[in-house]
């Protein structure tokens, strides 16, 4: 295990990747521009939440197999795992990928393997990354092995799936695909498939686009059912009894750095040929406003809303592209009083105050569940009845179990009833 690996970008994918290679016995250097993250990692600590990651990082830092730095060093393998955000016009911003690639130019040598794990639009390896190496004296097709190997893991299971999942390795050349695949075969128990770079780029994008489109179908069903007075969740349960049907569950929208972003990378390359993908994005982006409308149908302007959850999915701390964050902004803009609780998020991440559950629900007129954290599956019903101004829950994640009938509970199975809720409460108060 004399091979040295340099992982550039120590975020939700880069740090677990570095940790897994270090645990396998490789000499790993992790590089990031975040000085706080670098300092924490070198102390055997982590700056993000992922199941099992703190223990593995401490183990490999203590063993000397992993260290972090602000600067790139000479290595045998370079893995680029930096973000690819989107511009305001929904086109990909590959500046971080370009910057990370350029950072290794002073150290690159013949025989090095360079792998871009960052999610990128089709042809980025061919048209953007490969030309960067022309600034050196090396021939990118013969002297180095350039490839794209997209991550395909589920937050909460990243350490498991980095090892067990099939990996797709797309090479700039056939030999590049082979050499990069050999790196992953040192740690991956699943199949490692070699292909062209552009095919690997597109396959990752289509994996997430497929999911985004199917979620859009469920969200559209939820909105139609709300208008027609239909129990959407019952419809989905019954339709899914068909052996070839698997409809998703509607929710507050789509978030995260993959599903909410990747489809745009396809759209920008062929906008005239991607109306289905574009419309799916529009449907999913419309859900925060739909949630706002449901709340407005339920309580008066100025009412206190207890918001539970800010992350885009349960049991993680990732708020990137989270529809919950947009919903909070919409509620605030529409003059609702907000008290927010998320046990997985810190105030530093979101730049506004967070509360305990008890403080959040005190004198609230509605609990709005936006994330399916395990802590929200069973709420303290006694506390809700004692402390809320009106014991009412709108569960956009369909995850809360309520047994006391004195608590008004709404999800996508009875969301249409919320239109009458405010009127009924006003009559009762009179």
The SS3 call for residue 148 is strand
Catalytic residue among 6, 23, 149, 258: 258
How many angstroms separate the CA atoms of 292 and 303, rounded? 13
User: 3-state DSSP call for residue 326?
Assistant: helix
Catalytic residue among 6, 149, 204, 294: 204
> Is 174 among the catalytic positions?
no
What is the Cα 155 distance to its own chain's centre? 7
- What does the alpha-carbon distance between residue 60 and residue 55 come to, in Å, rounded to a whole number? 9
Read off φ and ψ for residue 273, nearest 5 degrees: -110, 10
DSSP annotation string for 124-143:
HIIIIIHHHGGGSSS-TTTT
Look-up of token digits 């999915």: 313
Q: How many CB atoms lie within 10 A of CB 108?
A: 22
Contact assessment for residue 339 and residue 367, using Cβ atoms and an 8 Å cutoff: no
Nearest Cα to Cα of residue 310 among 223, 375, 388, 381 = 375
347, 354 Cβ separation under 8 angstroms: yes
Distance CA 8, CA 29 (A): 8
Structural contact between residues 149 and 80, judged by C-beta atoms closer than 8 angstroms:
no
204 is annotated as an active-site residue: yes
Catalytic residues: 204, 258
């Amino acid at each position: 295990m004399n091979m040295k690996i340099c992982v550039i970008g120590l975020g939700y994918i880069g740090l677990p990747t570095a940790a897994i290679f270090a645990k396998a016995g490789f000499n790993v250097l992790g590089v990031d521009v975040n000085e706080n993250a670098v300092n924490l990692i070198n102390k055997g600590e982590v700056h993000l939440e992922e199941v099992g990651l703190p223990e593995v990082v401490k183990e490999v830092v203590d063993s000397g197999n992993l260290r972090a730095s602000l600067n790139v060093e000479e290595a045998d393998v370079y893995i680029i795992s930096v973000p690819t955000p989107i511009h305001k016009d929904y086109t990909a911003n590959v500046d971080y990928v370009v910057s990370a690639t350029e950072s290794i130019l002073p150290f690159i040598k013949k025989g090095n393997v360079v792998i871009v794990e960052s999610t990128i639009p089709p042809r980025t390896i061919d048209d953007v990354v490969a030309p960067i190496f022309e600034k050196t004296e090396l021939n990118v097709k013969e002297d180095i092995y350039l490839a794209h190997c997209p991550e395909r893991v589920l937050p909460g299971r990243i350490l498991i799936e980095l090892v067990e999942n099939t990996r797709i390795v797309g090479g700039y050349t056939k030999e590049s695909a082979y050499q990069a695949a050999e790196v992953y075969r040192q740690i991956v128990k699943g199949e490692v498939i070699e292909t062209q770079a552009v095919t690997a780029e597109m396959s990752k994008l289509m994996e997430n686009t497929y999911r985004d489109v199917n979620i859009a179908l469920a969200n559209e069903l939820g909105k139609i059912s709300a208008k027609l007075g239909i129990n959407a969740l019952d419809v989905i349960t019954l339709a899914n009894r068909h052996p070839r049907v698997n409809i998703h569950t509607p929710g507050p929208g789509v978030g995260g750095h993959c599903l909410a972003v990747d489809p745009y990378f396809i759209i920008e390359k062929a906008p005239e040929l991607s109306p289905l993908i574009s419309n799916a994005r529009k449907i999913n982006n419309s859900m925060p406003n739909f949630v706002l409308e449901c709340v407005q149908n339920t309580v008066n302007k100025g009412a206190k809303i207890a918001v539970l959850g800010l992350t885009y999915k349960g049991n993680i701390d990732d708020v990137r592209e989270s529809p919950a964050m947009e919903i909070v902004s919409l509620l605030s803009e529409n003059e609702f009083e907000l008290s927010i609780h998320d046990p997985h998020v810190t105030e530093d991440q979101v730049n506004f105050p967070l509360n305990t559950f008890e403080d959040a629900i005190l004198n609230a007129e509605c609990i709005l569940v936006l994330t399916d954290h395990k802590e929200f599956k069973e709420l303290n019903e006694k506390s809700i009845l004692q402390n809320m101004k009106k014991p009412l829950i709108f569960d956009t994640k369909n995850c809360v179990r309520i047994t006391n009938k004195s608590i008004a509970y709404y999800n996508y199975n009875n969301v249409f009833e919320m239109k009458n809720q405010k009127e009924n409460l006003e009559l009762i108060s009179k």
